[in-house]
Amino acid sequence: MSLVLAIASFVVAAIQPVQEEYDHGKWIITERTATSAYIELVWPDGSNWKNLIELSSLDGLRRSDLAQLPRSHVFRIIEDGGRFDFEGIVGAGRGTGDFHFTPNRAFTAKLVSLGITDVSDLTDWDLTNLAWGRFSARSAHEFAALGLAPQSKNDMMELAVQHVTPHFVRSLRSLGVTDLDTIHDVVAARMFGVTPEFVRALGMAGVSGLSGQDLVSLRMSGVTADFVKAANQAGLRDLSPRKLMEMRHRAQRGNL
């Protein structure tokens, strides 16, 4: 097992709470763009989950609500795995309050019909993870169309916990990223910050057509588009990922 896969599997295992009856907590919302916002969940044990949500996917909350003066508000996130109900104060680009999660246990039968194994022991906490990770029957079909059909509970949970969506995979592939052929490939890309923005910035600096693993390695080594641009300005161009990582390691040791 590779280091990347081992870390990803550890993360999936580590998200299990001591008490699985956690179904409520505090929430914070912060506007990011005209169409999206960060929503952070704070569980009773103090752990935090954060996700970038398109405002159009929220039931009962619009951008105009965020732009208004703060006032009481109620809204929802409804997914196949269950429903998050939010109540609190929203306005001036922010919001905070309490949330409650209601699992949709009928989703288990749907997962079985999709051919996903090992879901007979799916817990309410698992459904919470699936709902927050936006994993649905529709996304399962879309992953299958991309050649990444989840076969097991572990496949499904890795995608959900790391917030890997079909849109994320399509975006990376459209930018020329190669070898995103397995669920572990796309989970590693997401987990280590290989975002479309990162790939696009590297492309503008002259580094493109790399594999997902190369991009993960660059990200883990701290190679950024600015670093590549600095190398270009020093007359060093068309460098391989290995050479860029070697240069970055020397720079970190103060030898460049």
**Residue 32: per-residue pLDDT:** 87
**Residue 256: per-residue pLDDT:** 47
Q: 72-103 pLDDT, tens per residue? A: 999 999 999 999 999 999 999 999 999 999 99
The dihedral built from the CA positions of residue 228, 231, 233 and 237, taken in this order, carries a sign that is: negative
Number of domains within the chain: 2
Counting as low any pLDDT under 70, the low residues of the chain are 1-21, 255-256
Give the separation between CA 137 and CA 206, rounded to whole angstroms.
Answer: 39
- The H-or-E segment that residue 143 falls in is helix 137-145
Give the separation between CA 71 and CA 68, rounded to whole angstroms.
Answer: 8
Host domain of residue 222: 167-252
Q: Where among 143, 163, 183 does a domain terminate?
A: 163
Same domain membership, residue 195 and residue 156: no
Same domain membership, residue 147 and residue 27: yes
Give the separation between CA 158 and CA 163, rounded to whole angstroms.
Answer: 8
Place of tokens 């029957």: 137
